[in-house]
């Protein structure tokens, strides 16, 4: 069994700020983290490794500093890591990213056939949820997105059964390896690696691949290979007025609440009518 | 997501090649599961109507599934919400959603009829399918848009979406490839009015598929109604709670008010993380997007990741002890006060208002 | 199998980094353990770095060290309620190829230093907290235990560079609890601001920087100081007072910082800036008299953990780096001579310190902490008196200057007796001698 887990290093979006004067995004000093959704997939891959002894390879495409994300992933227990980095990859959109990543996975597969690819449900910076399906489509892997649990993995038959979140319910799907899986958030918690894992992570040589190591058609990566064009980036307009504060004489909760109810009923007559009708019907 | 500045790097194409100019029409892939269409599809048909009118082209609705009365009804609804043409794609293999057959069929249909814009809901189905077909069609796909428009000068789709967790918005275009694809979250676009009398042209497509070709099987489906999942996305009133509630026990104050109003209960992420409620109740970037008539936010600071999930609510009432809490920047009405005291008072005031009226009527 | 190293360094602050780097450069098999997610994740420093010590360890540090601005001007301000009196020293001579002092953002420096450490061949492991020292029956330290499963690691010697709380040594009973009058609690913020505004407001060009050290009414009579530093695209502002005083006064530290930011003299300097980062941290300020035991069988303490901090000059990181380097050199010498890491052999470290500026400076100011603590007038009455005096002197109102001087003298004597004034002068002179 060989599992490839794709992770992305992202800026911690809770710490990004808009420069008060220039109105541009301030990334300086914002820590880079592993995309939080990727950790759910990584943990699932590690659980499969625990059960089956599978080999887990981490893969990321990004600037040289993304090595830190790989090293951290190794410290959770992954076996090896590949950093795909090249200036030619800069500006890749999801189509180009999935092209480059699938090229790298194909090359990894030549060393040892890949049975499962795990991706995060989505990233917190790009936030598209498109790269995983892009990889699956390009590599002909069965696509299993929004998986809430891996119910069964039969290595002898090479079959996998999963629960997949869909609108209004959960689908139970059965399919055959090789697959591309994205795990739903909250399905598990990333482990705290052992001391041995940490030593191994600190000592593992991270393999660094450039475009020339795996990509055949360089017009398909980077800006050239990206059909989408970002034509404008801007800060959301703040709402013009702030909230109107509801106050009552004496400031007693009862008075304020009564005033609030009146305000709501006046502002939303339709809602008020609905509520009254519901009350009248004895609901 | 590319993060490039709007400068024009070399070697990129920004002009639409001649052969792609034949692509015409705005399509919505109607999301149909177990006999019912997802409301996001109708929201998108409404939006497609506006875009198509600007371009002077037709709105196409693609309805996929196994043939039957449900599918017929959904085709009719498509016209009612504004479609001009319905592409009715039927085959038993398409009965339940599966990536492989759906992606294969949709790729073929797009290549045959050549629409210039294809819209899908940013649901688990829509995102799963969109990512797959955009790859085989080798075209641009913009996820989770909050605004769609047409740039008059080149007739291209301008898709605006939040990025970096909602701290920024960006507008994205697919200039030199067709179709231009986008997904939009449920409840972001307004629901259009339905005109029962509208009809249009139905184009029937019968794909050549065989069940044996598809490895993935749907074993069963467990509906949320059996799993006691919250139906936040469609709630008309939501009483939402944040960390200001302080203790899990205090959630009863929220449930009490919700009961009087017939409302759903929503929460901010820390409450889910603390295990007070299940993650089906989380509102926000990584939870649900909601658009109720009334959103009561108690003890929620209004972080951007929460805000993006609820700011389109018609009326937001925020209760917070801190007069400078960011939530007051976008709530319509605010109460500066202790939610633990205000919530019971509100429950009381609403019950009184509603019961008085009941006596009177 | 339990891993074994020549040395384990606990902590990736300036002292631990200096030690690890020096050991690794000498070819020692060294492991550095840091509890933060990455080096610098948990560290707080106002932000002045002194080049001399770093240069001794990494001579070419200027090639790629991410410093902010080099300092060309030092101001010392004594704040009144709405005024300041103070001194400035500015010189173009500080604009050299090898400046002596820089403002820094500590997280950036730590990250950079760590990269150099890894390149030098040390093994570095983060997100791992050392929970205790492993000691044999005789009390000799032979390794550490971490919070990870299988967390036992052995080494010939452990360098404790774990900062002001020195929990490891305390837990092992090697150090005592810190006395509240020997530690200050400092809070600081980094404020983002348009670099053009920094240049304008402080009269700077390019990478020039200013530091302002502040005393006076802002500490509300407590023993403490404040500071304002110019970085590339931000300002660092902070204030700290002795923990014992905070306890007694019942003032919240962040409130003190808020008041400082709203002081009429400070406010215009930081107008339009946006808060980026808030941090609170302790500073060991007990001086020479509070320095604990520094070595034992199989262990050494360096940096803040050894209480090496010169409060009078706000120097800490340089003492940390110097002590880290000297600890490493001691270990290297013993190792090369094939001698064991016993308390007696490691005592060479103490001798190195005694011969260096570290101990010499600490000794020089040994009485300062006590004097400050026992004479609160330096933080309450004097700022008022001096600012009042300056106000009187510089108000041109047709009163003759001799009368003004007399009035000023009278106000001083009224607040504090003539002998009190003389006594203070002598005390200070002695402490700074
Ligand atoms: C990648 C990512 C995704 C995220 N996605 C989401 C998401 O989908 N949804 C989401 O909600 N968050 C999300 N978050 C978290 C988000 O950033 C905030 O941390 C979160 O929304 C804060 O929740 P809160 O307002 O309940 O808590 P806090 O920010 O702690 O605010 C509590 C508020 O309660 C007020 N208060 C305290 N006591 C009282 C009282 N007695 N009465 C009234 N008011 C009181 C306080 O003044 C304060 O404003 C995400 C974060 C990340 C990094
Ligand atoms: C507000 C403020 C302003 C200052 N300004 C200046 C200044 O301008 N100039 C100056 O020279 N000095 C200044 N100092 C002092 C200076 O920051 C310290 O003297 C210096 O950081 C001490 O270095 P250190 O390596 O000994 O300790 P630290 O920098 O505290 O590093 C200790 C490290 O050990 C790690 N650690 C702790 N316990 C464990 C454990 N059990 N296991 C693993 N890791 C552990 C910590 O995470 C930390 O990384 C200032 C201090 C403060 C608080
Ligand atoms: N640059 C990248 N390197 C490795 N994996 C990536 C990269 N970008 C996206 N992914 C994977 O694709 C998932 C979805 O990303 P996105 O489509 O950007 O939301 C992520 O969670 C990752 O698993």
Instruction: Report residue C254: phi and psi, to 5°.
Output: -65, -30
CB within 8 A of B31, min separation 6: which ones?
A: A167, B37, B38, B40, B41, B120, B121, B123, B125, B126
Contact A11 B164 (CB under 8 A): yes
Q: What is the mean pLDDT of residues C171-187?
A: 92
In this structure, the answer to whether residues A216 and A253 fall within a common structural domain is no
Distance from CA of B225 to the nearest CA of A (A): 8
A26-40, B175-189, C95-109, range with the lowest pLDDT: A26-40
Please tell me the distance from the alpha carbon of residue C163 to that of residue C304, in angstroms, as a whole number. 5
| A272 and A156 share one domain | no
pLDDT over 70 (residue B4): no
Answer for the pair A159, A175: CB distance below 8 angstroms, yes or no.
yes
Task: Give distance in angstroms: CA of C15 to centre of ligand 2.
Answer: 8
A165 and A257 both lie in a single domain? no
CA angle C298, C299, C304 (to 5 degrees): 175
From the list C107, C108, C272, the residue facing A20 with the nearest CB is C272
Among A273-282, B230-239, C257-266, C396-405, where is mean pLDDT lowest? C396-405
CA distance B356 to A126: 52
Domain-embedded: residue A242: no
Provide the 10 A C-beta neighbour count for residue C200: 10
**pLDDT of A25 over the 80 cut:** no
A with C: 3 or more CB pairs under 8 Å?
A: yes
Comparing CA positions, the residue from B311, B234, B294 lying closest to residue A272 is B294
Question: Is the link from the previous residue into B179 a cis peptide, with omega within 30 of 0?
Answer: yes
Per-residue burial over B59-77, b if 16 or more Cβ lie within 10 Å, else e, is bbbbbbbebeebbeebbeb
Q: What is the 3-state secondary structure (H, E, C) of chain A?
A: CEEEEECCEEECHHHCEECCCCCCEECCCCCEEECHHHHHHHHHHHHHHHHHCCEEEEEEECCHHHHHHHHHHHHHCCCEEEEECCHHHCCCCHHHHHHHHHHHHHHHHHHCCCCEEEEECCCCCCCCCCHHHHHHHHHCCEEEEEEEEEEEEECCCCEEEEEEEECCEEEEEEEECCEEEEECCCCCCCCCCCHHHHHHHHHCCCEEECHHHHCCCHHHCCCCCCCEEEEEEECCCCCCCCCEECCCHHHCHHHHHHHHHHHHHHHCHHHHHHHHHHHHCCC
pLDDT at B178: 96
Confidence of residue C341 (pLDDT cuts 50, 70, 90): very high
Calpha distance A181→A98 (Å, rounded): 14
Burial tier of A212 (Cβ tally within 10 Å: 0-12, 13-18, 19+): exposed
Distance CA A208, CA A227 (A): 27
Looking at the structure, give the CATH architecture of the domain made up of residues C181-284. Answer: 2-Layer Sandwich (3.30)
What are the CA-CA distances from residue B27 to residues A164, B16, B30, C298 (Å)? 27, 19, 9, 74
Q: Are strands C130-135 and C141-146 parallel, antiparallel or unpaired?
A: antiparallel
Confidence (pLDDT) at A28:
64
CATH of the domain at A173: 3.40.50.620
- Residue B4 or residue A57, greater confidence: A57
B308-337: average pLDDT: 93
**Residue ranges of the domains in chain C?**
3-66+104-176+289-355, 181-284, 369-431
Give me the residues paired with residue C184 across strands. Answer: C242, C283
The dotted CATH code for C3-66+104-176+289-355 is: 3.50.50.60
Which of C34, C152, C274 is the best substitution to test chain A (most A C-beta atoms within 10 A)? C274
Residues in chain C: 433
d(CA B173, CA A230): 6
Q: Enumerate residues 6+ apart whose C-beta is below 8 A from C190.
A: A29, C105, C231, C234, C235, C236, C275, C276, C277
Q: Which atom of ligand 1 is nearest to the CA of A14?
A: 53
> What pLDDT score does C392 carry?
78
The single residue listed with the structure tokens 């006395």 is: C179
Instruction: Label each residue of A32-43 as H, E or C.
Output: EEECHHHHHHHH
Judged by a CB distance cut-off of 8 A, whether residue A26 touches chain C is yes
Q: Among A249-258, B63-72, B135-144, C40-49, where is mean pLDDT lowest? A: C40-49
Q: Which residues of A172-194 are buried (b: 16+ CB within 10 A; e: fewer)?
A: bbbbebbbbbbbbbebbebbebb
Same domain, A150 and A263: no
CB atoms within 10 A of CB A59: 26
- DSSP track, C84-143: EEEEEEE-GGG-SSS-SEEE--HHHHHHHHHHHHHHTT-EEE-S--EEEEEE-TT--EEE
- My answer on whether omega of the bond before A178 falls inside 30° of 0, hence cis, is yes
* Residue B207: exposure state from Cβ atoms within 10 A (0-12, 13-18, ≥19): middle
Write phi, then psi, for B163 (nearest 5 degrees): -140, 170
B238 neighbors B257 (Cβ within 8 angstroms): no
Q: In terms of Cα–Cα distance, which of B153, B240, B187, B166 is closest to B38?
A: B187
* Mean pLDDT, rounded, for B225-240: 81
Mean pLDDT for the stretch of residues C387-410: 80
Any ligand 2 atom below 6 A from CB of C13 = yes
> Do residues A216 and A265 both lie within one domain?
no
Rounded Cα distance, C430 and A132, in Å? 71
For residues A269 and C314, what is the distance between their CA atoms, to the nearest angstrom?
Answer: 65
**All chains having 3 or more CB pairs closer than 8 angstroms to chain C:** A
CB atoms under 10 Å from CB of B16, counted, come to: 18
Q: Which residue from B minimizes the CA distance to A97? A: B1
Q: What is the mean pLDDT of residues C74-95?
A: 90
Contact B177 A231 (CB under 8 A): no
A13 and A115, same structural domain? yes
pLDDT value of residue B350: 95
Q: Can you tell me the mean pLDDT for C221-245? A: 93
Looking at the structure, do residues A97 and A145 belong to the same domain, yes or no?
yes
Spatial contact of C72 and C208, defined as CB atoms under 8 Å apart: yes
Q: Are residues A158 and A80 in the same domain?
A: yes
* Contact between C184 and C224 (Cβ < 8 Å): yes
Last residue of a domain, one of A175, A204, A220: A220
A254 and A122 co-located in one domain: no
pLDDT of residue C369: 79
B356 min Cα distance to partner chain A (Å): 10
Nearest protein Cα to ligand 3, atom 12 = A131
Residue B5 has pLDDT above 60, yes or no: no
Tokens 């598809």 belong to which residue? B214
Does the residue A273 lie in any domain? yes
Whether complex ipTM tops 0.90: no
Instruction: Give B170-219 pLDDT, tens digit per residue.
Output: 999 999 999 999 999 888 898 999 999 999 999 999 999 999 999 999 99
Closest CB to B334: pick one of A134, A170, A245: A245
Does residue A275 sit within a domain? Answer: yes
**Model pLDDT for residues A183-210, shown as the tens digit of each residue:** 998 788 899 999 999 999 999 999 999 9
Dihedral of alpha carbons A84, A86, A89, A91, sign: positive
For B143, the 3-state DSSP assignment is: strand
Spell out the domains of chain B, with CATH numbers in brackets. Answer: 3-221 (3.40.50.620), 232-360 (3.40.50.1220)
The tokens of B7 are what? 């400068």
With a cut of 50, say whether residue B1 has pLDDT above it: no
Sort out which chain B residues have CB atoms less than 8 A from A226's CB and list them: 2, 12, 140
Residue B66: DSSP 8-state: -
For the cut 60, the answer to whether the pLDDT of residue B360 exceeds it is no
Select from C129, C149, C236 the residue whose CB has the most chain A CBs within 10 Å, as the one to mutate to test that interface: C149
The continuous run of DSSP H or E covering C77 comes out as strand C70-79
Q: Which domain holds residue A261?
A: 249-282
Region C189-208: mean pLDDT is: 94
Residues contacting residue C406 through CB under 8 Å, at least 6 positions apart: none
Q: Quick check: is A225 in a domain?
A: no
pLDDT per position as a tens digit, B266-292: 999 999 989 999 888 999 887 888 889
Cβ-based neighbour number of residue B25 at 10 Å: 20
Cα separations in angstroms, C242 against C285, C370, C372: 8, 12, 10
Q: Which residue has the higher pLDDT, A67 or C40?
A: A67
Q: Which has the closest alpha carbon to A35: A173, A163, A140, A185? A: A185
**Nearest protein CA to atom 14 of ligand 3, as residue:** A122
Judge whether C371 and C428 are in contact, CB under 8 Å. yes
* Residues of chain B contacting residue A175, judged by C-beta atoms under 8 Å apart: 215-217
C-beta of C224 in contact with ligand 2 (< 6 A) = no
What is the C-alpha to C-alpha distance for residues B124 and B181, in angstroms, rounded to an integer? Answer: 16
Query: What does the pLDDT read at residue C233?
Result: 92
In the predicted structure, residue C162 carries a pLDDT above the cut 50: yes
Q: Is the pLDDT of residue B355 over 90?
A: no
Same domain, A198 and A75: yes
The tens digit of pLDDT for each residue in A74-131 reads 999 999 999 999 999 998 999 999 999 999 999 999 999 999 999 999 998 888 899 9
Averaged over C93-108, what is the pLDDT? 93
The mean pLDDT of chain A is: 91
The pLDDT confidence band at residue B361, using thresholds 50, 70 and 90, is very low
Grade residue B121 by pLDDT with cuts at 50, 70 and 90.
very high
pLDDT at position C401? 77
A110 part of contact set with chain C, CB < 8 Å = no
Mean pLDDT of C303-312: 92
pLDDT at C410 over 90: no
B141 forms beta bridges with: B181
Q: Give the count of domains, chain A.
A: 2
Q: Is residue C376 over pLDDT 50? A: yes
Specify if A259 maps to a domain: yes
Q: In this structure, are A276 and A161 located in the same domain?
A: no
- Which of A187, A275, A283 is the best substitution to test chain B (most B C-beta atoms within 10 A)? A275
Average pLDDT over residues C328-346: 98
| Nearest alpha carbon to residue C431 among C358, C381, C371 | C371
pLDDT higher than 80, residue B357:
no
Mean pLDDT over residues C239-266, rounded? 93
Contacts of A41 (CB under 8 A, 6+ apart): A5, A118, A119, A120, A121, A181, A182, A183
Residue whose C-alpha is closest to residue C130's, from C107, C105, C153: C153
- Give the residue with greater pLDDT, C122 vs C276: C122
Asked if A98 and A170 sit in the same domain, the reply is yes
The predicted pLDDT at position B359 comes to 54
Q: Which residues have a Cβ under 8 Å from the Cβ of B35 and sit 6 or more positions away?
A: B68, B70
> What is residue C415's three-state secondary structure?
helix
What per-residue confidence (pLDDT) applies to B305?
83
C-alpha to C-alpha distance for A100 and A103, rounded to whole angstroms: 5
């Amino acid at each position: 069994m060989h599992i490839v887990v794709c992770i992305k290093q992202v800026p911690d979006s809770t710490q990004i700020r808009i420069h008060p004067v220039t109105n541009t995004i301030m990334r300086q000093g914002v820590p880079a983290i592993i995309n939080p959704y990727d950790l759910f997939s990584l943990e699932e891959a590690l659980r499969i490794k625990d059960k089956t002894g599978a080999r887990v390879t981490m893969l990321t495409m990004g600037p040289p500093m993304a090595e830190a994300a790989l090293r951290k992933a190794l410290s959770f227990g992954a076996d090896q890591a590949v950093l795909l980095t090249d200036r030619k990859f800069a500006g890749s959109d999801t189509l180009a990213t999935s092209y480059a990543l699938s090229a790298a996975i194909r090359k990894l597969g030549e060393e040892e056939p890949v049975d499962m690819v795990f991706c995060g449900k989505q990233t917190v910076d790009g936030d598209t949820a498109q790269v995983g399906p892009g990889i699956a489509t390009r590599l002909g892997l069965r696509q299993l997105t929004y998986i809430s649990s891996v119910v069964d993995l039969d290595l002898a038959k090479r079959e996998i059964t999963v629960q997949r979140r869909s609108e209004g319910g959960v689908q139970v799907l059965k399919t055959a390896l090789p697959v591309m899986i994205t795990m739903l958030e909250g399905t598990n918690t990333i482990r705290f690696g052992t001391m041995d894992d940490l030593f191994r992570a600190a000592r593992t040589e991270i393999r660094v691949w450039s475009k020339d190591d795996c990509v055949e058609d360089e017009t398909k990566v980077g800006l050239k290979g990206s059909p989408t064009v970002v034509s404008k980036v801007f800060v959301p307009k703040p709402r013009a007025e702030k909230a109107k504060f509801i106050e009552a004489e004496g400031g007693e909760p009862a008075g304020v609440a009564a005033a609030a109810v009146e305000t709501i009923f006046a502002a939303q007559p339709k809602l008020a009518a609905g509520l009254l009708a519901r009350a009248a019907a004895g609901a | 997501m590319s993060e490039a500045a709007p400068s024009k790097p070399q070697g990129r194409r920004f002009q639409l090649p001649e052969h792609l100019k034949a692509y015409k029409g705005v399509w919505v892939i109607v999301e149909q599961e177990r006999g019912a269409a997802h409301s996001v599809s109708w929201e998108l048909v409404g939006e497609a109507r506006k875009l198509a009118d600007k371009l002077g082209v037709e709105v196409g609705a693609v309805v996929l599934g196994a043939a039957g009365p449900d599918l017929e009804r959904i085709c009719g609804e498509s016209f009612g919400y504004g479609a001009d043409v319905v592409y009715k794609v039927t085959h038993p293999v398409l009965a339940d959603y599966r990536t492989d057959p759906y992606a294969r069929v949709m790729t073929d249909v797009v290549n045959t009829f050549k629409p210039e814009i294809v819209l899908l809901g940013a649901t688990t189905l829509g995102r799963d399918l969109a990512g797959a077909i955009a790859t085989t069609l080798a075209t641009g796909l913009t996820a989770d848009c909050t605004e769609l428009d047409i740039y008059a000068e080149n007739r291209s789709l301008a898709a605006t979406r939040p990025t970096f967790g909602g701290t920024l918005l960006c507008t994205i275009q697919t200039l030199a490839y067709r179709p231009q694809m986008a997904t939009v979250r449920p409840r972001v676009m307004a629901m259009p009015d339905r005109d029962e009398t509208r009809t249009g042209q139905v184009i029937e497509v019968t794909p050549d598929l065989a069940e044996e070709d598809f490895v993935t099987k749907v074993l069963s489906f467990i509906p949320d109604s059996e799993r006691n999942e919250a139906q936040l996305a469609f709630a008309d009133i939501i009483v939402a709670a944040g960390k200001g509630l302080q203790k899990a026990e205090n959630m009863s104050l929220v449930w009490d008010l919700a009961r009087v109003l017939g409302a759903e209960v929503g929460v901010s992420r820390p409450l889910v993380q603390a295990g007070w409620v299940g993650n089906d109740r989380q509102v926000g970037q990584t939870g649900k997007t909601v658009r109720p008539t009334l959103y009561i936010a108690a003890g929620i600071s209004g972080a951007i990741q929460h805000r993006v999930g609820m700011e389109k609510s018609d009326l937001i009432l925020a209760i917070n002890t801190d007069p400078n809490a960011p939530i007051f920047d976008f709530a319509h009405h605010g109460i500066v006060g202790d939610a633990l005291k205000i919530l019971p008072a509100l429950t009381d005031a609403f019950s009184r208002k509603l019961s008085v009226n009941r006596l009177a009527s | 199998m339990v891993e074994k190293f020549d040395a384990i360094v606990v902590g990736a602050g300036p002292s631990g980094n200096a030690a690890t780097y020096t050991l690794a450069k000498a070819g020692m098999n060294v492991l550095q353990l840091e509890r933060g997610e990455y080096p610098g994740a948990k560290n707080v420093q106002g932000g002045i770095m002194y080049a001399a010590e770093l240069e001794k360890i990494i001579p070419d540090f200027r090639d790629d060290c991410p410093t902010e601005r080099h300092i060309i001007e030092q101001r010392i301000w004594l704040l009144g309620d709405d005024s300041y009196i103070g001194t400035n020293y500015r010189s173009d001579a500080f604009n050299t190829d090898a400046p002596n002092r820089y403002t820094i953002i500590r997280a950036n420096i730590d990250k950079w230093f760590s990269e150099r450490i890894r390149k030098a061949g040390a093994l570095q492991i983060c997100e791992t907290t050392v929970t205790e020292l492993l000691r044999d029956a005789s009390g000799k330290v032979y390794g550490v235990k971490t919070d990870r499963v299988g967390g036992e690691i052995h080494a010939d010697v452990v360098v404790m560079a774990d900062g002001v709380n020195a929990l490891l040594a305390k837990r092992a009973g090697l150090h005592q609890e810190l006395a509240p009058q020997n530690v200050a609690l400092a809070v600081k913020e980094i404020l983002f601001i348009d670099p053009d505004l920094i240049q304008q407001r402080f009269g700077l060009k390019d990478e020039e920087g200013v530091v302002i050290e502040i005393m006076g009414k802002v500490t509300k009579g407590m023993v403490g100081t404040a500071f304002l530093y110019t970085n590339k695209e931000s300002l660092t502002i902070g204030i700290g007072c002795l923990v014992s005083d905070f306890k007694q006064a019942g003032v919240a530290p962040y409130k003190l910082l808020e008041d400082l930011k709203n002081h009429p003299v400070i406010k215009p300097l930081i107008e339009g800036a946006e808060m980026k980062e808030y941090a609170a941290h302790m500073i060991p300020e007990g001086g020479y008299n509070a320095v604990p035991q520094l070595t034992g069988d199989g262990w050494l303490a360096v940096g803040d953990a050894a209480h090496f901090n010169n409060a009078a000059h706000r120097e800490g990181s340089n003492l940390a780096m110097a002590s880290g380097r000297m600890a490493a050199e001691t270990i290297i010498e013993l190792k090369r001579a094939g001698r064991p890491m016993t308390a007696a052999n490691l005592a060479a470290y103490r001798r190195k310190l005694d011969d260096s500026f570290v101990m010499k400076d600490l000794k020089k100011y040994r009485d300062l902490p006590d004097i400050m603590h026992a004479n609160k007038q330096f933080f309450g009455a004097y700022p008022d008196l001096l600012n009042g005096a300056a106000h009187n002197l510089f108000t041109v109102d047709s009163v003759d200057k001799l009368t003004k001087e007399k009035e000023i003298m009278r106000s001083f004597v009224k607040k504090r007796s003539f002998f009190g004034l003389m006594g203070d002068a002598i005390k200070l002179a002695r402490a700074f001698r």
